[in-house]
Amino acid sequence: MQGCGLFKTWCHVCVYLGLELGKRVRFCGDLFLEVTVFFRIKKSGHRAYVQVVENKRFDGAVRQSVIANLGRADDLIASGALASLLASGAKFTDQVLLITTLDEDSDGSLSVAAKRIGGPLLFGRIWERLGIADVLGELLKHRAFEFAVERAVFVGTLHRLFVSGSDRDCASWMADYDIAGVEGLDLHHFYRAMAWLGEELEEKPAGALAPRCVKDVIEEKLFERRRDLFTDLSAVFMDTTSLSFYGEGGETLGEHGYSKDYRPDLKQMILGLVVDGSGSPICTEMWPGNTADVTTLLPVIDRLRQRFGIGRVCIVADRGMISAAAIAGLEERQLEYILGARERGDVLVKKIVMENDDPFVPLLIERQTGETQLFVKQMMLEDKRYIVCRNEAEAENDRKDRERIVAALDTQLKKGDKALIGNSAYRRYLRKTGERKNTPIFEIDLGKLAEEARFDGIFVLRTNAKITPLQAVLRYRDLLKVENLFLRTKAVMRTRPIFHSSDAAIRGHVFCSFLALVMQKYLEDLSCQAGVVPEWRSLLRDLDRLQQVRIRHRGNDWVVRTDVAKPIADLFRHAHIAMPPRAKQMAPPKLVPPTKSARKRRGRTRRGATSLPISPKAA
């Protein structure tokens, strides 16, 4: 409680019951006194003065008195003295200005909007550093699009990184983000941008699996931008997956085939991804959904050599892409390869595993999360080089899995045999011993269990490359990078659902996911350099929490930024991205210079001999 030192009053005893900007209530003896303090513009001729005025309702009558004359309004505004005074007073009533403006916005002059800025700031800078914007601009300079195609592609790529989904969702999603240059973009613009990315540049050659498209040119130009004397494609990794459609899936891409999505009821396409030895995506290949993996290896190799001008290359692929024709084609092209072999399906490989008793050589591979104990041996069989590897950790997991299956199998046998026939995991360990009342009788096949134990932790490689067994094993293990990229494509970025009805738009839609993978790999490398290795989902959430609030009120435009998480601040600092200020005025009011008025003089106007006439009539 304080006495009234500021206001003039005739009270002998004065107690403040409340404190609010502009209003104070006092009890003075038996009298009720209400006081209101405000600014007033007092005009005197053509001048305007700012006054602090006090209104007092005393015993039913309002009395007004001037507390202070602050000076001329134009001088106070031009010098900033009035703004400084208000800012100083706001320290004691910091909530009043905002609350009063929000509560008393009767004329609708107040506008408050919040948008996320973390993702556009970070990935926008990566987009520029990778040269994607420049490449798209170069290809678009001769096209007469009436909207910002490069911005539409960037928004589509950013959408794949954060939530993914359809382009229909992307058109409404971007409204929550502060992305430069997206004004006026609508859903049909995204459809046209996707169709341009997948636009065919020439007819598909005979025997080719896919035509040459705009996206292929972009991939080649991006690769050229990061290529230097040390860029090496001596080892490339390739894997495929299937993407299902909710619809027909274009004119030729949508076909029924072996579904890795476990949706055989839907039409699908086959997507191939090629990465280099460091895990950076190089290009994508898209084929109809009924394309077999074993038929894709040689066409992709031929296209890689043609598109990227590579000479010596070592192909690393898993067992799903191997066929006798594919291996013969690689050797005909005199290419080196490291291929995974089918341990159980290939008779020759099975013979190696079951009958060869040569000793294994122990190898210890250091990893970030520990060490991996491997045992390897190599042999030549029918002029073919094979490398047999045994992973001790995987062998232990295989053994435990088999023991669990056998325990469940023994329990199920006691309940009856019929339930076991449809389970492939059970059936592989059973053998038929006879019949009882025309019903087969099964028992656990101990010989099969012993045979399966020989394959615990075993994988077999076939190679013609002039490298050591350890180098071959490490190269093949790098193939897991491609599988991890596909997991990101499906699980993290969720390329599906795809609703487009044309091949071109479908190719463009999937290509945005490829660009997202390129930016994600760049960000991972940047995070490792900065010593920040956050979980991907946590990183996206922290980026979404970085927002800015824009407040517009009667011509004033202010932007206020929220706090930033420490991992994001460290990442921005290492990436040399300036963090926006906590608060700034976007469109400050124009300063009104003080006007000089002519003095009024009595009598005739004083004029010198060289003075110009003051009016046309005088001239």
Strand order in the sheet with 23-28: 15-16, 23-28, 31-44, 47-58, 61-72
Model pLDDT, residue 256: 87
| Residues contacting 457, CB < 8 A, separation 6+ | 390, 391, 392, 393, 394, 395, 396, 397, 398
What's the pTM?
0.69
- DSSP single-letter state for residue 596: P
124/225 Cα distance (integer angstroms):
18
Neighbours of 3 (CB within 10 A): 11
**pLDDT score at 616:** 43
The 3-class SS string of 107-129 reads CCCEEEEEEECHHHHHHHHHHHH
> Which residue is associated with the tokens 């039913």?
60
* CA distance to 35, 37, 67, 68, 115, per residue, from 6 (Å): 12, 11, 9, 11, 43
For residue 608, pLDDT over 90 is answered with no
* Residue 133: pLDDT over 90: yes
Q: What Å distances lie between residue 487 and 242, 295, 357, 495, 592, CA to CA?
A: 12, 23, 38, 11, 61
* pLDDT tens digits for range 153-199: 999 999 988 887 777 788 889 999 999 999 989 999 999 999 999 99
On whether the CB atoms of residues 127 and 222 are closer than 8 A, the answer is no
Q: Given pLDDT bands bounded at 50, 70 and 90, which one contains residue 104?
A: low
pLDDT for residue 601: 56
* Sequence ranges of the domains in the chain: 15-104, 347-466
- Answer yes or no: are the C-beta atoms of 197 and 510 closer than 8 Å: no
What pLDDT score was predicted for residue 150? 95
Do the strands 336-340 and 314-317 form a parallel or antiparallel pair, or are they unpaired? parallel
| Residue 492's pLDDT band (cuts 50, 70, 90) | very low
pLDDT, mean of residues 429-444: 70
- pLDDT given at position 294: 78
Tally helices (H) and strands (E) across the chain: 20, 20
The Cα 364–Cα 303 span in angstroms is 37
> Among 73-77, 217-221, 440-444, 460-464, which stretch is predicted with the lowest mean pLDDT?
440-444
Question: At residue 347, does pLDDT exceed 90?
Answer: no
Q: Please, what is the Cα angle at 579 between 573 and 584, to 5 degrees?
A: 160
